Amino acid sequence: MMKSFLLDTSILIDFLRVKDKKQTLLYKLAKKNYTFFISIVTHSELYAGRNVWKNQYANKELEILLTGITILPLDIEISRLAGKIRTKHHIALIDAIIAATALQNKLSLATLNVKDFKKIDALELLKIT
């Protein structure tokens, strides 16, 4: 069975910012033909960057990047679980929603911000090797 990951915003921002894409975790994962998902919250975070709206190239680059990624919606179950995670672990609401999305969809989370998510025992984080 092919491995699937929910990508945290940090993974995508890292890919978009660096010149040598081959050095990014996203590039390395893509070479292994994994299936990628993001939360609708991550989608919003990516489009909240000023550069996406000022720079036509940046906007197009983001659109191209997102074509190969499935965007998962926020629903009632994810919303409730996110509230529980935020309350229990005292993390930012956006991170709680991303974690809840991964848990609800039974996906491992790929992130460069492990410290934000490592407190959540049930959440499987990508082990970078």
User: Residue for token digits 């848990």?
Assistant: 103
**CA angle 122–38–62, rounded 5-degree value:** 150
Single pTM value for the model: 0.91
Average pLDDT (21-30) is 91
Q: CB within 8 A of 25, min separation 6: which ones?
A: 11, 14, 15, 110, 112, 128
pLDDT tens digits for range 30-79: 888 899 999 999 999 999 988 888 888 888 989 999 998 999 999 999 99
Give, in order, the Cα–Cα distances in Å from 54 to each of 32, 34, 44, 66, 100. Answer: 33, 32, 16, 19, 32
pLDDT tens digits for range 82-127: 999 999 999 999 999 999 999 999 999 999 999 889 999 899 998 6
pLDDT of residue 2: 64
C-beta separation of 117 from 109 below 8 A: yes
Pick the CATH number of 4-117 from 3.40.50.1010, 2.30.33.40, 2.60.120.260, 3.30.450.40: 3.40.50.1010
Confidence bin at 129 (pLDDT 50/70/90): very low
Other Cβ atoms closer than 10 A to 72: 21
pLDDT of residue 36: 96
